[in-house]
Structure 1
Amino acid sequence: MTAGSPHDALVVPLPGGPVLGMTWGWTGVRGTWATSRAEASMDAMVRELGTTWTAVTYAAEQATAQSTTIPFRDAPALTDDEVRWAVRAAHARGQRVCLKPVVNVADGTWRAHIGFLDPEVPNEPTWAEWFAAYTQFVVHHARLAAEEGAEMFCVGCEMVRADAHADRWRAIVAAVREVYDGLITYNCDKYQEDRLTWWDAVDVISASGYYPLGGWESQLDRIEAVVARERKPFFFMETGCPSRRGSAALPNDWTLSGPPDGGEQARWYVDMLTATSARPWVQGWVLWDWPAALYPPEEAATNGDYCPSGKPAAEVIRATYERVADLSAARDGSPR
């Protein structure tokens, strides 16, 4: 996000300015939102990081990777009232909101592995059945996004096996547009930016940026070709690193064992934010992640998870967010 870069010609401005964001509330377990502790968590996020965007992010669970029903109205999924509460709470704190409903698998399988036989086989679960259930899930939450005035809606996250069904995804986006008139994005997984074939359907390209320390330049070169081809705004809908020794080399591995190491997390953030800030077509970040039930400040040094609260990375993030906000305000001629 530096002025005068040779990459400037690739910039298609994102309405509302840069995304200086954080993922809030994951995984969205019923009963953990709309509480005083959740209020305090969101207050701390805005105060510590200076965010301007909040991704209100939550999951419904299908039983297995081959299930074709998504019981999004059943516990432990959030209620609609809880989702509405979070959007309103973020707006009340001056945040723009991306509503991001996600499907998880209850048995622990990563959602990227949701998949079915192709071509379809009689008496086996099918892609058609799953996409029908998924469309119902997504459109329901798109209506909530419209009713609550969320500025962006994410139609899916890291659905790698499902990504190949381009026409079905275009149909989902079309169904969302019938009930929601804000910005629409899809959060592709890392290394998938140049493999997705239906970026034409969405307004904004977004991706999960979990690339290792020192490995950003080659990945940004690859993604830049996609941005140049599609001529659409781009930001990282997810990016982050645990505060755990060894995580900078594998920032996407939330199961990696190792002692807490806030310094390693901060070094990864310096590397990531320096590399991506130098590409003006990267129009922001939604970091991973900030829980609804935040740990006490005195536990920050022994917490090895992604949340940067109270850790050295928080200062790195805030300094970057303040700098980018100041540059954006100067370009727009408006005071911060």
Structure 2
Amino acid sequence: MVKPQIWVWRGEFTGNIKMQNEDNWKLLEDSYTSFILEYAQMANETKADIFCIGTELETFVDNRPEYWFDLINKVKSVYQGKLTYAANWNEFDRTPFWGELDYVGIDAYFPVSQSKTPTMEECLEGWKSHKKGITETQKTYKKPILFTEFGYRSVDYSGKRPWISDRDMDQVNLEAQNNTTQALFETFWDEDWFAGGFVWKWFINHDEVGGEENFMFTPQNKPTEAIIRRHYSLN
């Protein structure tokens, strides 16, 4: 999957991007169209299986839905593969254009446990209400569900607010990462409507990243890597 992303100054959340007048909305739309179509053409040339038209742009989608339908048509004119959009976990159920895409894409940072070291049982229970909403969306649009991002930090309270990347949260907790990750696989992996997902965050320099002293998202060179490998090797 080719997945272009916007990174906002000072790390502000992309979902909050909002223009204050029509001229600025048009400026954003024209710029974003040019940005996305360039990557779509590249994805087509490289025969990428999936192209993602945007990532966690909640307010942009809410305020300018017509633009997104038009953008999808433009992308389809240059890219011949499958399409998705990476909706944030609290955005996907009101994203209006799933019917025009091939996958319902979700960045799956759903809160599943309030515990310092969440147990498997707690995480499985925490997934129940979220899974209900995901299933309802899947039935509405009759599209497979794709986790455009999924992953947990190897840190205390990893299931409480899984989207948090603050570096002052530095208490390494490998068990927390293991349990949250395993619970996600047990909840979704065997569903026939689940298309799989993309791990956040995986680096190309494998031997130089992660490790059992690392408290960030990557599962590389941590026990969680074996959990992921086991499930993907069965697919």
Q: Taking structure 1 as the reference length, what is the TM-score of the superposition?
A: 0.63
Once superposed, what is the RMSD of the aligned Cα atoms? 1.6
Compared with structure 1, are the counterparts of its residues 206 and 113 closer, same or farther at alpha carbon in structure 2 (3 Å cutoff)?
same
Q: Name whichever structure is richer in strand by fraction.
A: 1
Say which SS state the counterpart of residue 41 (structure 2) adopts.
helix
Which of 201, 225, 229 is 1:314 aligned to? 225
Could you say which residue in structure 1 is the equivalent of 2:16? 113
1:294 Cα offset (Å):
4.0
Matches within 5 A, 1:1-336: 98-117=1-20, 120=21, 126-164=24-62, 165-213=64-112, 214=123, 215-255=126-166, 257-294=169-206, 296=208, 300-323=211-234, 325=235
Larger Rg: 1
Once the two structures are superposed, what CA deviation does each residue of 1:185-217 show, in whole Å capped at 9, x if it has no partner? Answer: 111011212111111221211101112332211
Paired residue secondary structure (2:29): helix
Residue 288 of structure 1: CA displacement?
Answer: 0.5
Q: Which runs of 5+ in 2 are unaligned?
A: 113-122
Deviation at 1:278, TM superposition (A): 4.5
SS of 1:302's equivalent in the other structure is coil
2:207 and 2:214 map into 1 onto residues whose CA distance is 8
Work out the CA distance in 2 between the residues paired with 1:176 and 1:143: 8
Using the alignment, how far apart are the partners of 1:295 and 1:278 within structure 2? 31
Quick one: distance in 1 between partners of 2:230 and 2:32? Answer: 39
**What do residues 93-126 of structure 1 show as CA deviations (whole Å, max 9, x unaligned)?**
xxxxx11111111232111111113xx36xxx52
- Aligned residue for 2:4, secondary structure, equals strand
1:242 and 1:156 mapped to 2: Cα distance? 24
Q: How many residue pairs get matched?
A: 221
Cα distance between partner residues in 2 of 1:170 and 1:130: 16
How many percent identity over aligned positions? 24
CA contact (8 A) 1:246 1:258 kept: no
**Greater RCO (Cα-Cα under 8 Å, separation 6 or more):** 1
Preserved contact between residue 36 and residue 53 of structure 2 (Cα < 8 Å): yes
Q: Deviations over 1:239-275 (max 9, x none)?
A: 1101111222221111161311111100111111111
2:43–2:51 Cα contact (<8 Å) kept? yes
Q: How many Å separate the matches in 2 of 1:321 and 1:295? A: 20
Taking structure 2 as the reference length, what is the TM-score of the superposition? 0.88
